[in-house]
Amino acid sequence: MKIPAQGTPRDEITKAMRAYRDTDADASRARLFSLVYATRPDVLEVAKEAFTSFFSENALNPMAFPSLRRMETEAIAMTLDLMNAPEGAAGSMTSGGSESLLLAMKTARDWARVERPKVTRPQVLLPITAHPALFKAAHMLDLEVVVVPTAPGFGADAAAARRLVTDDTILIVGSAPQYPHGVVDPIADLAAIAEERGILCHVDACFGGFMLPWVEKLGHPVPPFDFRVPGVTSISADLHKYGYAAKGASSVLYRTRALRRHQFYVHADWPGGLFVSPGVLGTRPGGAIAAAWAVLKYLGQEGYLDLAKRAMNATRTIASGVRDIDGLEILGEPVMSALAIGTRASGDAPALDVYVIGDLMQARGWFFDRGQAPANLHLTVSPAHEAIAGEFLADLRACVEQARASKEQPQGKAALYGMLGSLPDRAVVRDALLELMDSLDAGDGSAS
Ligand SMILES: Cc1ncc(COP(=O)(O)O)c(C=O)c1O
C-alpha cells in the first residue's frame, strides 16, 4: 500500500473507519471484560473534550505550555494524596503502566549505582504474578530477575522472598492487586524485608491504584498497600484504568523527591539544545494529560466512590453467581473488581475445560482474557457491567451446560490455549508467540 496520490474525501474515511471497526470487540455494550474500563457516557464526553482541546499541545517542553505543566502537577498532587503520600513525595505522569514500571525500575537501578556501588549484578525480586511489563523493564535495563513464587491463595510468598533476597538485590516489587487473580500481594511483609535490607520497594498499583482506596472506603477489607506502609518507596497507579482517563495516562510516585531525580534523563551537550526529560517519551501528548486532569476534577471523590460501588456490586453479583454454578470456582480471594474463573471436578464429573466455556461465551459476544496455570477466564469488571451481570451469568450457565453436554474435542482458541498452556517446553511457546507477533501485519490486516 502507498499513501494515496490524492487525498481521500472525509466522508469516505469515516465510512472506512466504521467498516474497520465493525470487526472490533464491542466496548460500548460492556460485553468486554478486558482492555476497556467502561464507565458513564458523560465521563467519556468530558475526557474526549479535554483530549481534543489539547490535541496539538506537547508536554515535551514544560516552559512552552504552562497549562500542561499545571494540569500534570495537579493530577500528580491528587494521586499522591490518594496514595497517602507523605510530605516531600513527588511523581510524574507517564504514558501508561508499562512506562511507569520501566521508570520505577530505572530509578532503582540508578539509585543503586550511587547508593550501592558494590553491587555489580543488580537483582530485582518479582512475584511470578507480576505484570509482564516488569519483566520487560528488567530485560530492557539488564537487571537480573529473581522470581518469587506464590503462597496458597496466589499472593506473593513473602517467606520465599526473604530467602531469595541477596546482597545484590536492589528492589522488591509487589502488586496491588496482581492482574491474574486480583489478589493483593503481602505488601507490608515485602516492604519490611526491603526496609531491613535498606533497599527499595515498588508497589505496582497500576491496576488497583484508582480502585482500592474507594473499595476500602466502601468498607471492604483491603490489605495495606500504599505509602502508609513503611518501606514502600514508590508506587505506580494508572489513570487510564480505573481513573477513567483517556488512554495514555499513568503515574509513578516516589516517597522522596531525591529518589525521583534518578528517574530523569539529562543530555547537556546536544547541538540541538539543552535536553532534560522525565520519562521514556520525548514528545508527550497534551491530550492525555488534560483528559486525566479533567476526569479527576469532574468525578471528584464522590464520583469515584459511586463508580467503585457499581463495579463492586457487579463483581459481587458475578462472583456469587459463578460460585453457584456447579463445576466453576473463583481462584483465590480477589479484593476488588477483577477475578479469575476456573473449573473444578464436581462429584464424579471431571473438571470442564474452561477455555471451551470461554469460546462458547465468545460466540455469544463476551470477550475476556484467558489466564493459565491454572487455566482460567479473567474478568476486569467495570461500573458499566452492573447492568449486564445477570445476562452474563445466564449465558455462562448455558455455556457450562453446553460444554458439559459436548463430546467434541476442544477446537479453535480453546485447543490453542490448552495446548500452549500445557506445553512443558516454554521455549516452543515463546517461539509460537514471536511467530504470531511477526505475522500480524502479513495479509490485509483484517485477519483476527
Ligand atoms: C498490575 C498491572 N501492572 C501493569 C500493567 C500495564 O499497564 P499498561 O497496559 O498501561 O502498560 C497492567 C495492565 O493491565 C496491570 O494490570
Which residue's CA is the closest to the ligand 1 atom numbered 15?
207
Asked, colleague to colleague, whether 48-297 and 303-438 share their fold, the answer is no
Give CA–CA dist 295/304, Å, rounded: 10
Residues with CB under 6 A from ligand 1: 96-98, 131, 133, 175, 179, 204, 206-207, 238, 250
How far is the centre of ligand 1, averaged over its atoms, from the C-alpha of 184 (Å)? Answer: 14
Per-residue confidence (pLDDT) for residue 447, from 0 to 100: 46
Pocket test for ligand 1, best of 128, 131, 135, 178 (most atoms within 8 A of CB): 131
Q: Given ligand 1 and candidates 36, 98, 134, 178, which is best to mutate, with the most ligand atoms within 8 Å of its CB?
A: 98
Which residue's CA is the closest to the ligand 1 atom numbered 6? 97
Whole-model pTM: value is 0.96
- Which pLDDT does position 418 carry in this prediction? 83
pLDDT for position 65: 92
The percent helix, strand, coil of the chain (3-state, each to 5) is: 45, 15, 40
DSSP 8-class letter at 58? B
Q: How far is CA 168 from the centre of its chain?
A: 28
Q: Tell which atom from ligand 1 comes closest to the C-alpha of 178.
A: 1
226 Cα–ligand 1 center, Å: 17
Q: Cell for 419?
A: 495446548
* Phi, psi angle pair for 289, to nearest 5°: -65, -45
Look at the domain 48-297 and name its fold: Aspartate Aminotransferase; domain 2 (3.40.640)
CB 127 within 8 A of CB 160: no
Centroid of ligand 1 to alpha carbon of 101 (angstroms):
9
- Predicted local confidence at residue 130, as pLDDT: 98
CA angle 253, 256, 258 (to 5 degrees): 110
Q: Which helix (H) or strand (E) covers residue 147, if one does?
A: strand 144-148
What does the H/E/C string look like for the chain?
Answer: CCCCCCCCCHHHHHHHHHHHHCCCCCCCCCCECCCCCCCCHHHHHHHHHHHHHCCCCECCCCCCCHHHHHHHHHHHHHHHHHCCCCCCCEEEEECCHHHHHHHHHHHHHHHHHHHCCCCCCCEEEEECCCCHHHHHHHHHHCCEEEEECECCCCCECHHHHHHHCCCCEEEEEEECCCCCCCCCCCHHHHHHHHHHHCCEEEEECCCCCCCHHHHHHCCCCCCCCCCCCCCCCEEEEECCCCCCCCCCCEEEEECCHHHHHHHCEEECCCCCCCEEECCCCCCCEHHHHHHHHHHHHHHHHHHHHHHHHHHHHHHHHHHHHHHHCCCEEECCCCCCCEEEEEECCECCECCCCHHHHHHHHHHCCCECEEECCCCEEEEECCHHHHHHHHHHHHHHHHHHHHHHHCCCCCCHHHHHHHHHHHCCCHHHHHHHHHHHHHHCCCCCCCCC
pLDDT of residue 22: 87
Measure 7 CA to ligand 1 centroid, in angstroms.
38
Report the nearest atom of ligand 1 relative to the CA of 177: 1
Give the residue, by CA position, lying nearest to ligand 1 atom 9: 97
1 CA → ligand 1 middle, Å: 34
Q: How far, in Å, is the centroid of ligand 1 from the Cα of 333?
A: 20
Domain boundaries, the chain: 48-297, 303-438
Ligand 1: distance of its center to the CA of 269 in Å?
35
Q: What is the pLDDT along the chain (448 residues), one digit of tens a residue?
A: 999 999 999 999 999 999 999 888 776 666 889 888 988 999 999 999 999 999 999 998 888 899 999 999 999 999 999 999 999 999 999 999 999 999 999 999 999 999 999 999 999 999 999 999 999 999 999 999 999 999 999 999 999 999 999 999 999 999 999 999 999 999 999 999 999 999 999 999 999 999 999 999 999 999 999 999 999 999 999 999 999 999 999 999 999 999 999 999 999 999 999 999 999 999 999 999 999 999 999 999 999 999 999 999 999 999 999 999 999 999 999 999 999 999 999 888 899 999 999 999 999 999 999 999 999 999 999 999 999 999 999 999 999 999 999 877 788 888 888 888 888 899 999 999 999 999 998 876 554 4
pLDDT per position as a tens digit, 69-96: 999 999 999 999 999 999 999 999 999 9
Ligand 1 atom 7: residue of nearest CA: 97
Whole-number pLDDT of residue 218 = 97
pLDDT of residue 442: 84
Distance 233 CA to ligand 1 centre (A): 19
Q: In this structure, are residues 124 and 86 in contact, taking their beta carbons and an 8 Å threshold?
A: no
Q: How far apart are CA 243 and CA 246, in angstroms?
A: 9
Q: Is 424 exposed, middle or buried, given 0-12, 13-18 or 19+ CB atoms closer than 10 A?
A: exposed
Q: Which three cell numbers stand for residue 123?
A: 537483582
List the grid coordinates of 217.
472506603
Q: In the prediction, which pLDDT does 61 show? A: 85
Cα–ligand 1 centroid distance for 337 (angstroms): 15
**Is residue 148 classed as helix, strand or coil in its secondary structure?**
strand
Beta bridge partners of 169: 123
State the distance from the centre of ligand 1 to the C-alpha of 377, rounded, in angstroms: 17
Best probe residue, ligand 1, of 36, 101, 179 (max atoms within 8 Å of C-beta): 179
Residue with cell string 515463546: 430
Mutation test residue for ligand 1: of 129, 238, 335, 336, the one with most atoms within 8 Å of CB: 238
SS (H, E, C) 267-310: ECCCCCCCEEECCCCCCCEHHHHHHHHHHHHHHHHHHHHHHHHH
Nearest atom, ligand 1, residue 250 CA: 10
Distance 206 CA to ligand 1 centre (A): 6
| Domain 303-438, CATH among 3.40.1670.10, 1.10.10.10, 1.10.540.10, 3.90.1150.10 | 3.90.1150.10
Give distance in angstroms: CA of 413 to centre of ligand 1: 23
Which residue has the CA at smallest separation from atom 5 of ligand 1? 97
Burial class (CB in 10 A: 0-12, 13-18, 19+), 311: buried
Structure letter (DSSP) for residue 185: P
Please compute, for residue 268, the number of CA atoms within 13 A of its CA located in the half-sphere on the CB side.
1
